[in-house]
Structure 1
């Protein structure tokens, strides 16, 4: 620390003397400019340390640290603003040094810090305010009705925090309870959040100013720049997603089957949409939690063995596992200080499992985990990704004889596709049967279907997240265009306005013209022509939804009536559109028809950040995996070299140089999951080994409000007994009914015969 302080002092004196003597930065040499920028990077490191300390304090129980967090956020933005203004004239000239050119490219377009002071303060305050609301909120207890009509407080009820609600959603299986809890939480959230909710429209509109201040006219181009991507656009990204849709549909069919088995056919909304409250979180992304909770892996011994081994681990164990594994991938080791400085059993109500990066060359890191969190498979995946991200920063920051990467090349304001891909790659490889066996998370001998189980875990983690990422970005791009389109209009000749007015056509004009899209339901898709079995038609409908991907080109497929008093695109329209995008891309909805603004829980949306890097990184990891597996010259040593690059070059340039990857493609992903796709096509299910005793107890829940351990394990047998018993009852009832019917028929025939004879006798007389 003493040496660091001396370096900062020397750099400060050099930079100040230079400015005073020369009088203008324009006359500085490239070497001198790099030294001055290095001093700026040291200042950013100092702010990062203070910001991380403030967030650490908040998550470990000190509410007042949110104010300090905001102060540091504003301080960092002000520093960027001042320095980019100072360097503006020279930052736009070409440099001989590619390294210096890259430094100025990142430095000159930092994103939100380029905003004007007023907008910047509002932007930062809004995000922190929402975080505070969520952290303080507790779901209250509803009044209990008495027999005499009066209502009293239910004293047995305990108010539920955000963390508690999420835990119940992840464990509870009762569909009505889940639905009510989901709705109650968001009703409470919206009542606590009325003003802040409406302010989101302004927060979103700041994106236009942000793009302009970073020298881009279009939001899409600005986000591509922030993601370090030059040769792609959102239309191309939508085409990548189009290739993955068939696999996504098959995973939907898999999920629909287990949902219907648990809750019956009516659980799928309109036979098309999955109820969002079944996915185990207030902000669900993947499907692993729901699949496990609903018994998808009850008969998959590899899964049960893996889960049982994790049950005996704590979070420090998981971090050490991830540390050892990523070390084998040539990513280096975590420093010992990481374990000494981390907290793995925090009881604070504001706790959130997180890694902390202090942005220094000393690579100071630590982690926090919460006392009520469990060592689940989802946590196993997340921690492997987090450790890979930490090591990426450590390796990128190491000094070498050739050069060193300062703050901007390690942590600069770019959402690196490579950072995301490397993180995903680590968890992807860690989940392979070979590596699970090495970590003693699978037995020594090969288990049936262990490869399929591994692929299924990865697929349920990765594939369902992709349409969410795409929906979150395309929805905001469209919303800004709607806001711009209505902002200057004072009169409406018609009470109907187009809600989705700009979404790129992924397919041909004839196939998806605006008129054709309006004629059909936005979630309708053709059923599989080969599947004519009536018993599976309902599941196929649950799996089907439109393959049309709303993007930002030229289709308008939904119209919405607005009252004549509604002159602007407001928060209600925004929320309706959000769910339309999610319905179409994810096939997810809410069965009670209430459209809650759950996007206010998404940090990337609140901070106006794109999901593009996460989407593309999720695809890119499979390309990197193929390179590592298929070419001995591009082995694990190249992973270390890749990490070393940091953000010193554009991502596309690094990938082309090191791996000959010139485009991001979905084909390696589809090849990787081909065995799983064949398994899903076959209609097979995970089967238990008949030679073994039923050890479902390994898979039992330790936390459930309405079920006991082993309930799901017995559910299939119970269901079979119920069906047999029901068939017997129906058979008996059928026989009795036929007997009664025949008896009545004979009785009526005799009566008619008697009547005829009576009439005949009367006539004769």
Structure 2
């Protein structure tokens, strides 16, 4: 996940914000009819103020997430309010400036971005920003310090994630799932509902119907058209998901019996190897095809055999990017990153990538374990860092973002798709004589699908649920029921036990208390296959697409960096076209990648009652 700089600000900013950023917006507000020159001066000042504020923001957020205490929580809350106040004030004035005649198209683009890049708008009423910041800091603290239980003993969030992936005891899985959701999600429900009300009031002050409409306005297209586009993409890939769901359900039924998992209908969510059932790869051993299910290698075992530790894993990830001709990470990255979980203090282990100074103070924050999942995560997070550095020469801080937020997530995922046997040979983790034969391809594709395809409906429904919360169609007393209905509709899943009306299972997912829009991850799952297919085509790869590695290809690196360096300075279709040749986001590249698997799944599922 790319860190969102709108969540906090440097403690020093609580005393005084930059004079230029404060004075210029106020001066414009007192001007009844600013001319183009005055508006352009305001845009320049506001841009610089945003730049300076994000630097302060990053520092306080980093301190809080890497050392959760009452003091850092208080600083986080106050700085969050400070930043939100500045963002809302800037957005409100940007709406007025947009009406000034004589502005250039670039001026207008910046003004649009000033209005739509607010994740958590708050109203300008006294105390609203402070209340929002306090509540958000509190619920993020609940998440960061959250624990579940295993066999009755407390277990922290990082360890419970690992245990959910390895346990095959349905009673243990049920216990961990229920204890985590009850202890983390339920206590934050009231705070979350009040944050929604505050956020909606802020969005309405900016001219949006609600916060969801504001979020959807940040995609260079009409909000309704964007919602329709995501639904169109989902319908392109849904048939593949249904086949994967059907096959997985039958394998779970074979393993656990009908008393745990029925042959038909939805799947019990805690059986899928992940606390949120967002990715299912951890239960590949349960679903592996007979005779060809053994992939012939395990990345985690290869790492251990080669004496990799967490730092060496990150070095390997860096090596992928430098092999494409991109520069090594700065020395400060190694000195300042949190690569492993520190002892003796509470931290947020959720992996994230940071650009503290909008220049080259790049960092990652992880609680890395030596396993295949974290090897993939490292490649993903470094994709954010290399994107951040590629666009740091843009003239506007508002352009120092991905072409859209799905792009930012997709870059690292594209590199992770290249963690193929060929790549493992290239970096010395696997001998060429150990590369799996072609008869392993079904297993290789199925293992990928258990993460990539299984994620799609989850990636879509998080914001579908929040859009309903924001527009009022989902009321607080119906939060839990609507959540479970939506998980059933899109994922075909049910919780392991009946959930009470006062539960708040959405809050047990990091991005809900952190107020991080989630559609980006759905888009990233789609875009990564478009990027990967384009990279393999550029590299001249001739074999099966799912075995492609473009490691070491400088031509791919040059083309990639050209797209990355555009940042958000152009509409996302321009960036997409620069690398792929197409201006359309589509699930078709993913379907082509998994076409052999889909045919195989349909054969395995013959006679089954697929769907739920």
* 1:110 and 2:103 aligned: no
Q: Take 1:593 and 1:424, find their aligned partners in 2: how far apart are those partners?
A: 35
Which residue among 62, 73, 85 is the counterpart of 2:80? 73
Q: Distance in 2 between matches of 1:17 and 1:617?
A: 37
Q: For 1:297 and 1:591, how far apart are their aligned partners in 2?
A: 28
Determine the C-alpha separation between the residues in 1 that align with 2:416 and 2:238.
23
**1:161 & 1:615 partners in 2: Cα distance?**
28
Q: Does 1:384 align with 2:379?
A: yes
Which of the numbers 458, 472, 482 marks the counterpart of 1:577?
482
Name structure 1 gaps, 5 residues minimum: 1-10, 143-156, 399-403, 485-498, 500-568, 685-765
| Shift in alpha-carbon separation, 1:315–1:616, aligned structure 2, 3 A | same
Following TM superposition, by how much is the alpha carbon of 1:352 offset from its aligned partner in structure 2, in angstroms? 0.5
Distance 2:111 2:25 in 1: 19
Structure 2 counterpart of 1:425: 414
1:25-57 superposed Cα distances (whole Å, 9 cap, x missing partner): 646367645542343134223322432342244
TM-superposed deviation, 1:141: 9.6
CA gap 1:325/1:56 in 2 versus in 1, 3 angstroms: same
Give the C-alpha shift of residue 301 in structure 1.
Answer: 4.5
- From 218, 223, 238, the equivalent of 2:215 is 223
Question: What is the deviation of 1:437?
Answer: 2.0
Spell out the pairing of 1:30-45 with structure 2 (5 A cutoff): 32-33=41-42, 35-45=44-54
Q: 1:336 to 1:301 in 2, by over 3 A?
A: farther
Name 1:340's counterpart in structure 2.
335
Secondary structure at the residue paired with 2:278?
Answer: coil
Given that 2:185 and 2:505 are in contact with CA atoms closer than 8 Å, whether structure 1 keeps it comes out as no
**Higher deviation after alignment, 233-242 or 87-96:** 87-96
What's the Cα RMSD here? 3.6
How far does the alpha carbon of each residue in 1:60-107 deviate from its partner, in whole angstroms, 9 at most, with x for none? xx4531221222211111222344455553243355544333222212
Greater C-alpha Rg: 1
Aligned to 2:532: 625
Q: Deviations over 1:590-643 (max 9, x none)?
A: 242235422112233335543222212221222223333335899442210111
Q: Secondary structure at the match of 2:242?
A: helix
Note the C-alpha offset of 1:163: 3.2
TM-score by length of 1: 0.66
* Aligned positions of 1:181-220 closer than 5 A: 181-189=176-184, 193=187, 196-217=188-209
Q: 1:200 to 1:36 in 2, by over 3 A?
A: closer
Match of 2:15 in 1: none
- Structure 2 contact 78–133 (Cα < 8 Å) conserved: no
SS in 1 for 2:565: helix
For residue 326 of structure 1, the aligned residue among 305, 321, 331 is 321
Matched residues in 2 for 1:208 and 1:17: separation? Answer: 27
Quote the offset at 1:189 in angstroms: 4.3
Q: Deviations over 1:542-600 (max 9, x none)?
A: xxxxxxxxxxxxxxxxxxxxxxxxxxx442x2211111110121011124223542211
Separation in 2, partners of 1:368, 1:609: 17
In structure 1, what is the Cα distance between the partners aligned to 2:491 and 2:299? Answer: 29
Whether contact under 8 Å (2:354, 2:363) holds in the other structure is: yes
Asked if structure 2 preserves the Cα contact closer than 8 Å seen for 1:279 and 1:289, the reply is: yes
Residue 447 in 1 paired to residue 436 in 2?
Answer: yes
**Of 444, 448, 459, which residue of structure 2 is paired with 1:469?**
459
Pair 220,597 (structure 1): closer, same or farther in 2 beyond 3 Å: closer
Determine which of 537, 540, 558 is the counterpart of 1:637: 558
- Tell me which residue corresponds to 1:255: 248
Q: Match for residue 460 of structure 1?
A: 450
Secondary structure of the equivalent of 1:397? Answer: coil
Q: Distance in 2 between matches of 1:574 and 1:380?
A: 35
Q: Secondary structure at the match of 1:606?
A: coil
Partner in structure 2 of residue 515 of structure 1: none
Cα deviation 1:672-722 (Å, max 9, x = unaligned):
1112223434549xxxxxxxxxxxxxxxxxxxxxxxxxxxxxxxxxxxxxx
Residues 351 and 613 of structure 1, relative CA distance in 2, 3 Å threshold: closer
Residue in structure 2 matched with residue 737 of structure 1 by the alignment: none
* Partners of 2:375 and 2:199 in 1: CA distance: 35
Structure 1 partner of 2:297: 304
- TM-score for both structures, normalised by structure 2: 0.81
Segments of 5+ residues of structure 2 without an aligned counterpart are 1-17, 541-554, 606-612
2:67 aligned residue (58, 63, 68): 58
CA separation in 2, counterparts of 1:435 and 1:260? 35
Separation in 1, partners of 2:49, 2:405:
22
Q: For residue 367 of structure 1, give the secondary structure of its aligned residue in structure 2.
A: strand
1:678 to 599, 607, 611: 599
User: Which residue of structure 2 lines up, in the alignment, with residue 646 of structure 1?
Assistant: 567
Name the structure 1 match of 2:493: 588
| TM-aligned CA deviation for residue 249 of structure 1 | 2.0
